[in-house]
Structure 1
Amino acid sequence: MSTKIIAKFLVTAAVCLSLFILFLLGGCSSGEPAPQAVTPKVSVLSIKPQSQVLTTELAGRTQAFMVAQIRPQVGGIVQRRLFVEGADVKVGQALYQLDAAAYSAALAQSRASLVKYRATLKSAQATARRDAELVKINAISQQANEDAQATLLTAAADVQVAEAEVQSARINLAYTRITSPVSGRIETSTVTPGALVVANQDSALTTVQQLDPIYVDVTQSTTELLRLKRDLASGVLQSNGNGEARISLKLDDGTPYNQQGRLKVSGISVNEGTGTVTLRAEFANPDHLLLPGMYVRAVLEQARNDQAILIPQKAVTRSASGVTTALLVVDGKVEQRELTIDRAVGNQWWVTAGLKAGDQLVVEGGQKVRPGAAVQAQDINTLAATASTPAKES
């Protein structure tokens, strides 16, 4: 009897288990369908050409507009120094006073000689006039008259020599007071009162430098210069027009200088050692912020491209072999394209080949897709505008 009961129990359990399994299978088949793959989204930038000024950043040094090395033109003992070292001086301002006693005496002596020769000339003039009348009546010989006329000419020449000596002595006396030939900032003095100086000596007493305006000399490689001329000739670039390129400065600490300059001179010869030409620009320097010899970076505006293509640097990748590429969306699929880049402009690349107006450049999300994959393109400017618009209150 117990065996029959156990057998029934096992049959009933088997039936229940079968029904449970069928229930599970029926539940799975009647549920939701399996999820399908989602097309990835990428942010794209529509390429739009724009006008861009071609700038070149070049290293340079500042140079004084005018430099005057002060040297004595006569010898003597320095009596006084008449300027403050490091101060600004004006043209004609006295800088040194030399001992003038000997030159004052020389001037007095030359003046006395002039008085003497003028008196001699006056006497010779009277004799010449008298002898000219006497020779007409044969009162004196022709020889005597000719001698009187020659003496007159000699006396006149002596007066001219004496006048020149007076002028020379006056100039030498003036040279004992050494003045500045230009306005500018004066350096330290190499001599002190009591020092003996000589005319046209090799060592300068001091130096005066005009700092406003000031020159900036920069160098440009001949490769860049030739490429610029070639692009201008082909029409790829357009000249700025007036033939005088504008130029700005960055100081050694990276801060911009607050004055715009003008390119004044372009080098006409190439440095054989470096393969560069020298360009000279002129800058206003009213506050004397720029000093001679300072290192600066000059930003030179050379030409303009009205169809320049600039793209974010983050949208560009560079392979180990140096090939530069970017991802684009073409007909809903990702395409990898090789680019030619000219230079960096801020945080953007200036592209000269590989892109055209209207191309959809992948800016964000490119790391999640591969070339050939289907994607949903979203304009990054539209997304940015949407994100910046505040949500309306319900």
Structure 2
Amino acid sequence: MGKRFIFILADIVTCLLVAFLVACSGNEKPQTAHPPASVPVVSLSAGQVTTYHDYPASIEAVANVLIRPQVSGYIDRVLVDEGAFVRKGQTLFKINGLLYREQLNAAIAGMHLAEALLINEQIETDKLKPLVQNKVISDYQLKIAEAALLMAKARLEQSQAAIASAKINLGYTTIQAPVSGYVGRLMKKQGTLVAPSDPAPLTELSDVSQLHVYFSLSEQDFVHFKAQYPGNSLSEKIEHVPEVDLVLSDESIFSQKGKIDIFDGQFDKNTGSITVRASFPNQQGLLRSGNTGKVRLGLHHRDAVLVPAAATLEMQDKVFVFALDEKNKVSKVAIQIVGKSGSSYLVKEGLKAGDRIVMRGMDHLQEGQTIRPEILMTYNNPRSELK
């Protein structure tokens, strides 16, 4: 009887508990769905854009001349200092010329001897001519005399050539600047014995009044470059290329603008690129041969789509944006970038004009999430400021 009472009491408690839970659940208010988040969005459009690409470049002087001796001897005087600017024709070195002066004197003496022999042979020939005419002697002796006269003339010409050679060698003892420019390191000092066969030059003279800056274009950039300028030939297209900038190693821009003037005759088989030369004026000598820098080249793009760099995400070497469909659902889209203009990326594939992308707050979005777009502007100008 006691056990039956306990079971009846347990059933009563269970029924009361169920009734209480049902009553409580009936008083709960239904949950309301949260509205879509408001997210700033930009609408993309296409237009003509100029992108700038920096190409690593090497800077060379218009002329780098190795100064070497053309005669042997001891350096008597060094008339310039390292780094000095010299004019064309200015004396740089003076080699001891006593030996070459004596060689010149010997050549002059040899000429005087040849002149005397010529006179003697001329007299002998003139003496024999009337005797032959009068048939006193045979013409055999006259022919021998005339041959001797020709030999004397040849000796005179030979001695004159020796004088000219001696004068040239004596002139080589004074080494002058073949061009105007800056003197490099002086490899040989006063009193040093020098010779034309020396492996090291006396110094190097660099004419930096104009700079030749060499850089390389890939085959794709080269094709794009040719397509955007008028002309039937490459030389005609070069005439329409605007001036280019030179970016120095400290990222500053060189004060003078350059002009592209030469393309190499062929592509490098190893790198698949072609070498291009741009010339920059450098009258003040602010840059020297051997400087490094980058040529900043502008490329024009028609119907280009620009995307703000701030609206992109980089993951595993790929660039993504969150694009919206017609129902305002976002999806992550990979884009292919071909250049940069200001703070914007130039898109080759992945987006088109009229597409909408999320501008900010991408970190809080999920694939397929519905948002309430807050249109900021139509984005087509890389210089526009997005507020």
Normalised by the size of structure 2, how large is the TM-score? 0.77
- Per the alignment, do residues 128 and 268 of structure 1 end up closer, same or farther by CA in structure 2, a change over 3 Å counting? same
- CA distances 1:337-374 after superposition (whole Å, capped 9, x unpaired): 44322233332111012333333333235556554625
Given candidates 110, 113, 134, the residue that maps to 1:113 is: 110
Normalised by the size of structure 1, how large is the TM-score? 0.76
Instruction: Give the superposition deviation at 1:268.
Output: 4.1
User: Greater shift after overlay, 267-276 or 73-82?
Assistant: 267-276
- Per the alignment, do residues 49 and 133 of structure 1 end up closer, same or farther by CA in structure 2, a change over 3 Å counting? farther
Paired residues of 1:83 and 1:95 also in contact (CA < 8 A): yes
Given candidates 338, 344, 349, the residue that maps to 2:340 is: 344
2:302 is the counterpart of 1:306: yes
- Per the alignment, do residues 130 and 274 of structure 1 end up closer, same or farther by CA in structure 2, a change over 3 Å counting? same
User: Greater shift after overlay, 182-191 or 48-57?
Assistant: 48-57
SS state of the match for residue 162, structure 1?
A: helix
Given candidates 164, 167, 170, the residue that maps to 2:167 is: 170
Paired residues of 1:213 and 1:284 also in contact (CA < 8 A): yes
- Per the alignment, do residues 240 and 249 of structure 1 end up closer, same or farther by CA in structure 2, a change over 3 Å counting? farther
- 1:183 equivalent in structure 2: 180
Paired residues of 2:52 and 2:339 also in contact (CA < 8 A): no
2:307 is the counterpart of 1:317: no
Paired residues of 1:67 and 1:210 also in contact (CA < 8 A): yes
Which runs of 5 or more residues in structure 1 are unaligned? Answer: 1-33, 389-394
Mapped partners of 1:179, 1:272: distance in 2: 42
- Per the alignment, do residues 115 and 180 of structure 1 end up closer, same or farther by CA in structure 2, a change over 3 Å counting? same
SS state of the match for residue 329, structure 2?
A: strand
How much identity, in percent, do the aligned residues show? 25
SS state of the match for residue 171, structure 2?
A: helix
Mapped partners of 2:103, 2:127: distance in 1: 37
Mapped partners of 1:229, 1:77: distance in 2: 54
- Per the alignment, do residues 367 and 62 of structure 1 end up closer, same or farther by CA in structure 2, a change over 3 Å counting? same
- CA distances 1:217-237 after superposition (whole Å, capped 9, x unpaired): 3344xxxx222345568xxx5
- Per the alignment, do residues 150 and 197 of structure 1 end up closer, same or farther by CA in structure 2, a change over 3 Å counting? same
User: Greater shift after overlay, 177-186 or 292-301?
Assistant: 292-301
Paired residues of 1:340 and 1:354 also in contact (CA < 8 A): yes
After superposition, where does 1:182-221 map in structure 2 within 5 Å? 182-220=179-217
How many residue pairs get aligned? The number is 344
Mapped partners of 1:155, 1:227: distance in 2: 73
- CA distances 1:96-121 after superposition (whole Å, capped 9, x unpaired): 11222222222122112212212322
- 1:151 equivalent in structure 2: 148
2:309 is the counterpart of 1:327: no
Paired residues of 1:42 and 1:375 also in contact (CA < 8 A): yes
Instruction: Give the superposition deviation at 1:181.
Output: 1.3
Which runs of 5 or more residues in structure 2 are unaligned? Answer: 1-30
- CA distances 1:33-55 after superposition (whole Å, capped 9, x unpaired): x9985454333333232322354
Mapped partners of 1:316, 1:338: distance in 2: 10
Mapped partners of 2:214, 2:80: distance in 1: 30
- Per the alignment, do residues 254 and 243 of structure 1 end up closer, same or farther by CA in structure 2, a change over 3 Å counting? same
Given candidates 226, 244, 248, the residue that maps to 2:219 is: 226
- Per the alignment, do residues 326 and 159 of structure 1 end up closer, same or farther by CA in structure 2, a change over 3 Å counting? same
Given candidates 234, 238, 241, the residue that maps to 2:228 is: 238
Paired residues of 1:86 and 1:186 also in contact (CA < 8 A): yes
Mapped partners of 2:221, 2:295: distance in 1: 17
Mapped partners of 2:186, 2:225: distance in 1: 51
SS state of the match for residue 339, structure 1?
A: strand
User: Greater shift after overlay, 307-316 or 275-284?
Assistant: 275-284
- Per the alignment, do residues 357 and 276 of structure 1 end up closer, same or farther by CA in structure 2, a change over 3 Å counting? closer
User: Greater shift after overlay, 210-219 or 356-365?
Assistant: 356-365
Given candidates 289, 297, 318, the residue that maps to 2:286 is: 289
Mapped partners of 2:48, 2:129: distance in 1: 92
Letter of the 2:219 partner, please give it.
L
Instruction: Give the superposition deviation at 1:133.
Output: 3.8
After superposition, where does 1:1-394 map in structure 2 within 5 Å? 38-220=35-217, 225-231=218-224, 238-239=228-229, 242-244=236-238, 245=241, 246-268=243-265, 276-301=273-298, 303-320=299-316, 324-331=319-326, 333-336=328-331, 337-366=333-362, 371=368, 373-380=370-377
Instruction: Give the superposition deviation at 1:174.
Output: 0.8
CA RMSD of aligned residues (A): 3.1
- Per the alignment, do residues 310 and 189 of structure 1 end up closer, same or farther by CA in structure 2, a change over 3 Å counting? same
User: Greater shift after overlay, 309-318 or 172-181?
Assistant: 309-318
SS state of the match for residue 163, structure 1?
A: helix
Mapped partners of 1:213, 1:230: distance in 2: 29
Mapped partners of 2:361, 2:82: distance in 1: 65
Letter of the 1:249 partner, please give it.
L
- Per the alignment, do residues 217 and 335 of structure 1 end up closer, same or farther by CA in structure 2, a change over 3 Å counting? same
SS state of the match for residue 52, structure 1?
A: strand
Mapped partners of 1:117, 1:270: distance in 2: 62
SS state of the match for residue 333, structure 1?
A: coil
Instruction: Give the superposition deviation at 1:311.
Output: 1.3
